[in-house]
Structure 1
Amino acid sequence: MYQAIVFLPLLGFLIVGLFGTSLGAKASEYITSGFLVISAVLSWVAFFAVGFGDTEVFTVPVLRFIESGSLQADWALRIDTLTVVMLVVVNTVSALVHIYSIGYMHHDPHRPRFFAYLSLFTFAMLMLVTADNLVQMFFGWEGVGLASYLLIGFWYKKPSANAAAIKAFVVNRVGDFGFILGIFGVFVLFGSVNFDTIFANAASVASAGAEAGAPGETVLNFLGYALDMQSALTVVCLLLFMGAMGKSAQVPLHTWLPDAMEGPTPVSALIHAATMVTAGVFMLARLSPIFELSHTALTVVTFVGAFTAFFAATVGLVQNDIKRVIAYSTCSQLGYMFVALGLGFYSAAIFHLFTHAFFKALLFLGSGSVIHAVSDEQDMRKMGGLRTLIPTTYWMMVIGTLALTGVGIPATIIGTAGFFSKDAIIEGAFVGHNAMAGFAFIALVVAAVMTSFYSWRLIFMTFHGRPRATADVMHHVHESPPVMLAPLFVLAAGSLFAGVIFHEYFIGHDYEHFWKAALFVLPDNHILHDFHEVPLWVKLAPFAAMLIGFGLAYQFYIRSPEMPRELAARHRGLYAFLLNKWYFDELYDFLLVNPAKRLGRFLWKTGDGRIIDGFGPDGVSARVIDVTRSVVRLQTGYLYHYAFVMLIGVAALVTWMMLGSSF
């Protein structure tokens, strides 16, 4: 069963990738979508069998992979609760995106290539989440990077799509460089890249690192500094986290995610909402036995996550592209997950990953339905009044917004998916023990206010008020076909009920039986117990934040639509600062991109062109041409010219005979 779950998407990619032109678009769609539906159904079977059964961890061998000295990395599928949760997320969302794309990409002439890329991405992501060692994980890690590059730049005739694909690829390579250095460090410390070996030695490493904190034996030399076990573990964890920052779009490696919206909307739902961007969260949860040993690394993770959640929420307040608003929301919600990881609240991070996949994919696919209805327009300022024209899409977007903003009744089991998972992280931040927990709590509550504001702003600007589109566009507004709406209903059900159904298993009383040995926490980590004991006002804080955001959005975009324009004019500097995303792109252009371009241009024009080619091949060939051109001039065809040259030659020979013999 597990081989089928992983390799059916690969089979679909190979069939359609090799024979898609011959098979045709319809057959390509049905083959890839059919394989993904089978994988999704089998993933749910595995989820209930492993998560609710008695099996803890087992591996499914595939083949021998690498053997070099003491390095051994076989290709095997590691199956535990964390794996099956990710299998459900990846395959369910991917299957629904495949089905949705049948309608959304209906007019695209390159559908076989698109569906082949989707299946390739799904296979790479499955290789990542089923990895039994760090080498296999890195293989899947780079595979999703390649597939995302292909999908973001799918419309390769658009310069903006090509630029976004290259940007995503380059920024992720920065994080991946840290990730591979972290893998090297793990091998140095543990003598293996296999998870079983690493996890089996975690207890001894923890006890060694806990002794007094005095410098011990040098176990790693990093940039010329001799590191003891505790310091080495911290460096390794920070390097691994650097990889997670790139893949999961955390500040300062976040700039690729909003630009990736240049790809087709189904790509945004699959890659940049539910699957690839959560790879970093999964990686830190999988390596919890290592991260639990370094309080410094966990503190850094908490700070970066909290700052990212706040930063992305501020930028989302003023964006006008419907997909970019949701993209910054994704960036912000990933920050929540990293805060939970930094607090050692790994189950809450994965729970939010699980619920977030449903409502964020719903919002992205819902926005695709809106874009489909308004002739590919994405600017919310040119929409409005769509509520009665596309009512099904409207209610699906409202359900996604309710889940994202965490609508629910505190201290009860009545609420949407986001209510259970996001509120748990905020409450965990209140009782967290690392140095950044207090900052994280404040940042997350403020981010919750802004999340509610920009989410309802999207709903009000898009669906309410007077129509702002042209008459021609409004005349052609239509509801999406059933093949696009059906996935929305499935995701809406998950957005409404995933939290209430599964919260007891992820973060509640059935935690031990559900997670078993999939996640590791130290004995002094009591956050799972403590977050249930927070004061009532802490439980009410996210609820109040949601209400405040909704009230402000209603005031700004329903009751007084002129207020946002007046406020932006009054605070022009702040508005420009947020609209330009805190000028991160401009800063990177100034510090990194433009100097790199100038250096490259200098090496190209001066180094390669003027010096190497000028004095090398081009220079030699130019001199030969000059000499031959001069010689050719002597070939005039006149006898007296030849006689004159002969006389010069005789004179030169006689001169040499007379003078040269004396030397």
Structure 2
Amino acid sequence: MTIQLIVFLPLLAAIVAGFGNRVIGNVPAKLVTTGALFAACALSWPIFISYVTGTATPEVVPVLQWVASGDLNFDWALRVDTLTAVMLVVVTTVSALVHLYSWGYMDEDPDQPRFFAYLSLFTFAMLMLVTANNLVQMFFGWEGVGLASYLLIGFWFKKPSANAAAIKAFVVNRVGDLGFMLGIFGTFLVFGTVSIPEILEAAPAMAGSTITFAGMRLDTMTILCLLLFIGAMGKSAQLGLHTWLPDAMEGPTPVSALIHAATMVTAGVFMVCRLSPMFETSPVALTVVTVIGACTAIFAATVGLVQTDIKRVIAYSTCSQLGYMFFAAGVGAYNVAMFHLFTHAFFKALLFLGAGSVIHAMHHEQDMRYYGGLRKEIPITFWAMMAGTLAITGVGIYWIHAGFAGFHSKDAIIEAAFAAGSEVGQFAFFIGVLAALLTSFYSWRLMFLTFWGKPRWIQSEHIQHSVHKTPEEAGDDQTGGYHPHESPLSMLVPLGVLSVGAVFAGFVFSHAFIDDGNFWNGSIAYDAGLMHAMHEVPLWVKLSATAAMLTGLATAYFMYFRGTDRPARLAATFSPLYKFFFNKWYFDELYDRIFVRPAFWFGRLFWKAGDEGTIDRFGPNGIASVIAGGSGVMKRFQSGYLYSYALVMLLGLAAAATWIIVQGASH
């Protein structure tokens, strides 16, 4: 009964808030949805702890009979094992705190019931995904989070940019979902079932077999795994299908935290880990996963270096960290990938919600160039974001094995890549260290620009419009007479809770996730040999991530704390490279030319020449024109004069008489 409550309480809350909407009012809608999520969270943690302590056993809880069609038979059932338990606490904890945070952040929005209903619907879909016992049920949750993310990203639908971002996210994810669907179809074709346990049990026996695909005879498991991985690339914004993620920042900040921290974007990582026995049968597929993950990590890190929007910096950071998770899975360290997913949820949600607190304090200004000197104005937010920054950059002390969350999980990924001993593992290792350096740089750049230095608030149009003061009244201290304010308690409490996770989650749970194979209990492919080799890597490998972190910190310090003119001079010196990074490697422009413009051209062609020029012209419009023309001709006979009608009648009688005479003469 517990797992049913965890999954269906958010759905029930979404229905109440969504259909009740303004009838029940803002506060009841928020109470129902937030209460349901905190209840689900409270029920999820004991399940997770029971797996940590080794007192729980995996189970499958049936819900209802779903599909029985020929050979395709499956039920709607909720699978609970270690992997599910990890995702349950991640999803429900972050979602519950985001719900609470939204009480303050969305306080002035007129559509709060709709917003909270969307949040709860999103959470339900994600819980459906992580508890799936078959691929169809997983796909149901997969598409559910896609739909809910579309609704949340485009929540402010009166903004054209929000609508465009929502459509972009939906369309790009459909590309990945096509691969996922083909992977599911192929899996059913090969294994004759969509049951995940049955597929994973039969997968090793299919290693080395071949199948005809696109007219070629190819390795069966490689094709299936690559198709499934395309789905993961779309949902987890990997290189090539990543372009929707930064634009998703158009949604409210709580949405950014929910989508980018712990839920939607981690679905791909979860899927690869859930199906890890399948991926283990295909070295080629694992190599592709590793390379794509490593390339994504470095790509997103380079773009994050030069962004000025505080939320976009954190969004590209998410993209980069997801790359870490994928190349960890690619080298066979699925448990380490899940460990980083777990810790990342805390510190990334913290950073996003902290950024929202900064934006709230700065009258919705998101450009870091117009911040500065905020650590004394909003100290609680400052210390929360400091905890998140220390966690994502991996600050810790190796010799006492103590540090913030990222120190334990990200360093473990880098060590596992080196310990894998393969060429692709070495590639991932060096890319991971370089990405760690860049992560440290852009993270501390964000902190220095936001919280240190002199205020630059007067340069912001948002601030200028809020204070309504002349330059003489505002003074010359660059504050514009504006006084930032700390966020309300409903926003600060989630920051405090997530800060605890960012500080302690790595230290407390590292043994269970990394060293305790019994903890996973067969829910993923666990390589004990790789874990042992990971602990035996040379000392310089263990310290490489820390050295990269310190280098990034020192560089950011000298560029943004000691010499604030250096970034501009460096950007001018390396202008082509700066523009390349600032324009996100021109992926959007490339896709616009290759896909978007041709699609619009074909659309206009089919619209103007096909629909209007052919179908409408010779179809409905053509028939209507003939009828209208005929009516016009007939109208001329309706003159309204009696002698005209008499003339027509006489002509008609004469014609009839003539016809009768001619017919009679012919006989």
Common fold by TM > 0.5: yes
Moved more, 339-348 or 270-279: 270-279
**Amino acid of the residue matched to residue 137 of structure 1?**
M
- CA shift at 1:540, angstroms? 1.4
Deviation at 1:332, TM superposition (A): 0.2
**Equivalent position of 1:339 in the other structure:** 327
Partners of 1:503 and 1:352 in 2: CA distance: 10
Task: State the match for 1:118 in structure 2.
Answer: 119
Which amino acid is the alignment partner of residue 89 of structure 2? Answer: V
Q: Counterpart of 1:462?
A: 450
Which residue, out of 598, 603, 606, partners 2:606? 603
- Matching residue within 363, 387, 403 for 1:375: 363
Say if 2:71 is the partner of 1:80: no
CA contact (8 A) 1:273 1:327 kept: no
Q: How many residues align?
A: 646
Contact 2:405 2:506 in 1 (8 A): yes
1:273 corresponds to which of 242, 261, 269: 261
**C-alpha distance in 2 between matches for 1:625 and 1:7:** 59
Give the Cα separation in 2 of the matches to 1:615 and 1:203: 59
Asked if structure 2 preserves the Cα contact closer than 8 Å seen for 1:57 and 1:517, the reply is: no
Partner of 1:237: 225
Report the Cα distance in structure 2 between the residues aligned to 1:379 and 1:254, rounded to whole angstroms.
Answer: 22
Q: Which residue of 1 aligns with 2:212?
A: 221
Work out whether 1:283 is the aligned partner of 2:271. Answer: yes
Distance, in Å, in 1 between the alignment partners of 2:204 and 2:576 is: 53
Farther off after superposition, 194-203 or 601-610 = 194-203
The SS at the match of 1:2 is: helix
Of the three residues 516, 519, 531, the one matched with 1:528 is 531
Structure 2 counterpart SS, 1:634: coil
Residue 512 of structure 1, aligned match among 509, 514, 517: 517
Query: Could you say which residue in structure 2 is the equivalent of 1:213?
Result: none
1:362 pairs with 2:362: no
Contact 2:520–2:526 under 8 Å retained in 1: no
1:480 is aligned to 487
- Counterpart CA distance in 2 for 1:15 and 1:646 is 74
Q: CA deviation at 1:53?
A: 2.1
Cα deviation per residue 1:342-366 (whole Å; 9 max; x = unaligned)? Answer: 0010000000000000000000000
Q: How far off its partner does 1:602 sit?
A: 0.9
Q: Deviations over 1:549-592 (max 9, x none)?
A: 11111111111111111222222222111111111111111000
Q: Percent identity?
A: 61
Match status 1:99 vs 2:100: yes
Q: What is the Cα deviation at residue 595 of structure 1?
A: 0.5
546-555 or 513-522, which deviates more: 513-522
Q: CA deviation at 1:203?
A: 3.9
What SS class does the counterpart of residue 475 from structure 1 fall into? coil
Quote how far apart the aligned CAs of 1:640 are.
6.3
CA distance in structure 2 between the partners assigned to 1:426 and 1:568 by the alignment:
30
Match of 2:239 among 251, 263, 274: 251
**Is the CA contact 1:411–1:539 (under 8 Å) kept in the aligned structure 2?**
no
In structure 2, what is the equivalent of residue 204 of structure 1?
A: 205
Counterpart code for 1:528: M
What is the CA–CA distance in structure 1 between the aligned matches of 2:421 and 2:70, rounded to whole Å?
42
Question: What is the TM-score with the length of structure 1 in the denominator?
Answer: 0.94
Amino acid at match of 2:427: F
* Alpha-carbon contact 1:289-1:521 (below 8 Å) kept: no
SS in 2 for 1:517: coil
CA distance in 2, matches of 1:156, 1:411: 52
Q: Distance in 1 between matches of 2:48 and 2:628?
A: 75
**Which residue of structure 1 lines up, in the alignment, with residue 633 of structure 2?**
630
- Contact 1:128-1:141 at 8 Å conserved across structures: yes
Contact kept in structure 1, 2:204 and 2:278, CA below 8 Å: no
SS in structure 2 of the partner of residue 171 of structure 1: helix
CA distance in 2, matches of 1:45, 1:340: 28
Match for 2:248: what amino acid? A
Q: What is the alpha-carbon distance in structure 1 between the residues aligned to residue 537 and residue 651 of structure 2?
A: 108
**Quick one: which of 565, 569, 572 aligns to 1:566?**
569
- Residue of structure 1 equivalent to 2:46: 45
- Give the stretch that moved more between structures: 27-36 or 241-250: 27-36
Residue among 490, 497, 510 paired with 1:503: 510
CA shift at 1:383, angstroms? Answer: 1.3
What SS class does the counterpart of residue 74 from structure 1 fall into?
strand
Q: Does 1:444 align with 2:432?
A: yes
The CA distance in 2 between the partners of 1:302 and 1:223, in whole Å, is 25
Contact 2:204–2:281, Cα closer than 8 Å, also in 1: no
TM-score between both structures, scaled by the size of structure 2: 0.93
- Give a deviation string over 1:463-495, Cα, whole Å, max 9, x none: 111111126376241000111101101100100
Contact 2:340 2:409 in 1 (8 A): yes
Alignment partners' CA distance in 1, 2:32 and 2:288: 45
1:255-279 Cα shifts (integer Å, max 9, x gaps): 0000000000001001122111000
Give the aligned residue type for 1:129: V
Q: Cα distance 1:634–1:580, how it changes in 2: closer, same or farther (>3 A)?
A: same
Equivalent position SS for 2:125: helix
How big is the shift at 1:632? Answer: 1.5
The answer on 1:391 being equivalent to 2:392 is no
Q: Which residue of 1 aligns with 2:623?
A: 620
Structure 2 gap ranges (5+):
459-463, 468-479
Deviation string, structure 1 residues 281-318 (Cα, Å, up to 9, x no partner): 00000001100000000000000000000000000001
| Inter-partner Cα distance in structure 2 for 1:411 and 1:515 | 27
**Cα distance in 1 between the residues matched to 2:18 and 2:79:** 28
> What is the one-letter code of the residue matched to 1:149?
Y
